[in-house]
């Protein structure tokens, strides 16, 4: 079926650009045997879906849980870094500014987390 979709997409693009030079009816009639052959080949391909069991369902839940835990951990790490460590880094680097000026700056220009 993917071959048929790709063929139809390419056919549509080709028909659009070639329709100014050659008639659309001639183009469609020339591509008709290719489309029929693609339909015949697609109909002969046998596909069987794998049988799902309860064990596979639980395994997919465990995999999804690991992924969500990892994403949640990275979000929490980012929030911790932005909210806690950036002010400390600014205080360490910019020794000319007082901590009140840096906290005022961070209050005005809060980094969205």
Three-class DSSP labels, 51-63: CCCHHHHHHHHHH
* Average pLDDT of the chain to the nearest whole number: 76
Tokens of 27: 């183009």
- The share of the chain scoring above pLDDT 90, in percent, equals 0
Please determine, for residue 108, whether its predicted confidence score (pLDDT) is greater than 70.
Answer: no
Please name the residues in contact with 19: beta carbons below 8 A apart, sequence gap of 6 or more: 27
Sign of CA dihedral 101, 103, 108, 111: positive
Do residues 104 and 96 touch, judged by C-beta distance below 8 A? no
- Structure tokens belonging to residue 32: 């008709």
Answer yes or no: are the C-beta atoms of 113 and 83 closer than 8 Å.
yes
Report the predicted TM-score, pTM, of the whole model to 2 decimal places. 0.34
């Amino acid at each position: 079926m993917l071959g048929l979709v790709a063929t139809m997409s390419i056919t549509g693009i080709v028909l659009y650009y070639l329709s100014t030079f050659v008639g659309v009816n001639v183009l469609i009639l020339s591509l008709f045997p290719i489309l029929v052959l693609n339909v015949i080949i697609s109909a002969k391909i046998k596909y069987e879906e794998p049988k799902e069991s309860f064990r596979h369902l639980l395994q997919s839940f465990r995999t999804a849980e690991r992924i969500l835990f990892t994403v949640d951990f990275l979000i929490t790490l980012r929030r911790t870094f932005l909210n806690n460590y950036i002010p400390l880094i600014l205080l360490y680097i910019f020794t000319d500014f007082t901590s009140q000026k840096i906290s005022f700056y961070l209050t005005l220009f809060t980094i969205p987390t």
